[in-house]
Amino acid sequence: MIHKGKVPLTIAVFVNPGHFPPSSPKRKPRSNRSNEYDTCTPRYATFLAEEILPLVQQKYPYSKDPWDHAIMGASSGGSCAFTAAWHRNDLFRRVISFVGSFCDFRPLDAYPRYGKEYVMSGDDFGPWKTAHDYPALIRKTEPRRELKVFLQDGENDLDNRLGNWFLNNQRMAAALAYAGYDYRFVAGKGMHSKRHGMAILPEILEWIWQGP
């Protein structure tokens, strides 16, 4: 696709989540994936900006124009990609999400409490946000972020105590449409899988790199 001029010359950077060492030889390492991907703060984007991208820049000098930067992921990686672009719009403007986990990963006892036990303030409220809250934030945030977003999901995606994946991706698409974003939502029949997204990846890449 690069040779045909359908997408620009691209450097792909793949970042795996961290792991905690096992507590004993009989136990497996514990993944830090949810802590990194499902926490809707600028922290992960800051990690990319301060620790990963400078290493890339040293070896492969790249454009600093945020419109030349795309970020993508699947499941919690999809919602994490949106989080990074939402909080660090100065770094990322193009987002691709496969079966994005725009759901609520908070444990029940983590919900804010009012009254004498807990006093809500503006600073305290931020960390309580989860990807489930993005549709409301997208609708209410003015001026809107400079973003181009591709969402993919399937009708038979997960439906559990954390939320309904397909419904929440539809909520994301509706919010992006309401707020006037450049977006595309492709729905299929699939389950919680990257198969559909990967099958149409050439078309996605061609679209995501068009404009602005």
Strands 70-74 vs 94-98: parallel, antiparallel or unpaired = parallel
Residues 130-163: tens digit of each pLDDT: 899 999 999 999 999 999 999 999 999 999 999 9
The domain spans of the chain are 34-208
Is the distance from CB of 138 to CB of 172 less than 8 angstroms?
A: yes
Alpha carbons 26 and 42: distance in angstroms, whole number: 35
Topology of domain 34-208, CATH: Rossmann fold (3.40.50)
Alpha carbons 39 and 104: distance in angstroms, whole number: 10
For the chain, give the mean pLDDT: 90
Residues 18-39: tens digit of each pLDDT: 888 888 888 888 888 888 899 8
